[in-house]
Chain A
């Protein structure tokens, strides 16, 4: 989208002009849904977060200062929502684990870790292992790795989204890969 039409869209969104928000959702739903899916790996969760992102945009478009592009702003909201969701999920998992200790012998349903329709069936097992290790990365490395390797966005765009220099992003992706290699190596060594 060029700069002029983006400015027009933003002012229409702020004025709540008829059809503006629908136009915005049509333009950005592919990006938001796929980014959420790549972070969360579960289709249902990605749908929920996609809705959360657009509700947030609807409520806070008035506070958008235009210091970044609309796309960067949307990316930031999506990533924040995904990380919040993952943190909550981790807390729930911990709680469920504590409960399961108390109920030895009772069957507890294991939550799904991968339900990503973009993953081919023959790659399912390996991708699930990869996600398990990505989940153990620090947030910054995880964001940089996911955006670059899964969403396929450029270093420059990642640097704008994360508000870092391009070289910092490069080193973050390098460290993420190194960490993943180490974690995967340990995983395969044990199995």
Chain B
């Protein structure tokens, strides 16, 4: 009986706690945070771009940049090849001219 009385007192005290909770000033950033979210959602709804889409675009640009650089590198070798081909042709032509000249001489 005495133990139950003790428990009842504990229960009363605990229930009383609900009345001792104080009100708190809300954080000052609520309005600005809400507006950020509202505008963020608006731009997404109205066909704007969200973070995920920005990430996808970024990835696409990166892939294109990489393939462009490798394309430039391959063009370099093409240029080198065409330069050496030109030299070869010039050599042949000059040889031909010499030969031609030589032929005319004869």
In the complex, are the beta carbons of A34 and B30 less than 8 A apart?
A: no
In the complex, are the beta carbons of A188 and B7 less than 8 A apart?
A: yes
Q: Mark A37-57, 1 if CB is under 8 A from B, else 0.
A: 110000100010011001100
Q: Give how many A residues have a beta carbon under 8 Å from the other chain's beta carbons.
A: 39
Residues of B within 8 A of A (CB): 7-8, 10-11, 13-15, 17-27, 30-31, 33-35, 37-38, 41
Q: Mark A9-34, 1 if CB is under 8 A from B, else 0.
A: 00000000000011001100110111
In the complex, are the beta carbons of A126 and B17 less than 8 A apart?
A: yes
Q: Give the residues in chain A near B41, CB-CB below 8 Å.
A: 55
Q: Give the residues in chain A near B17, CB-CB below 8 Å.
A: 119, 123, 126-127, 130
Contact of A130 among B14, B23, B26, B37 (CB under 8 A): B14
In the complex, are the beta carbons of B14 and A126 less than 8 A apart?
A: yes
List 10 tightest A-B contacts by C-beta distance, closest first: A33-B26, A149-B18, A118-B22, A54-B34, A184-B11, A127-B17, A29-B26, A25-B31, A188-B7, A188-B10
- The CA of A123 and the CA of B21, in the complex, are separated in Å by 9
Q: Which residue of B lies closest to A58 (CB)?
A: B38
- The CA of A54 and the CA of B21, in the complex, are separated in Å by 24
In the complex, are the beta carbons of A51 and B26 less than 8 A apart?
A: no
A62 within 8 A of B: no
In the complex, are the beta carbons of B37 and A51 less than 8 A apart?
A: yes
* Chain B nearest Cβ from A19, distance in angstroms: 11
In the complex, are the beta carbons of A47 and B15 less than 8 A apart?
A: no
Enumerate 17 A-B pairs (CB-CB under 8 Å) in ascending A order.
Answer: A32-B26, A47-B26, A51-B34, A58-B34, A116-B21, A118-B22, A119-B22, A123-B20, A126-B13, A127-B17, A130-B18, A150-B18, A150-B21, A181-B11, A184-B10, A184-B14, A185-B8
- The CA of A110 and the CA of B31, in the complex, are separated in Å by 32
10 new A-B contacts, CB < 8 A, other than A25-B34, A116-B21, A118-B24, are A30-B26, A34-B23, A47-B27, A54-B30, A117-B24, A119-B17, A120-B20, A130-B14, A145-B18, A184-B14
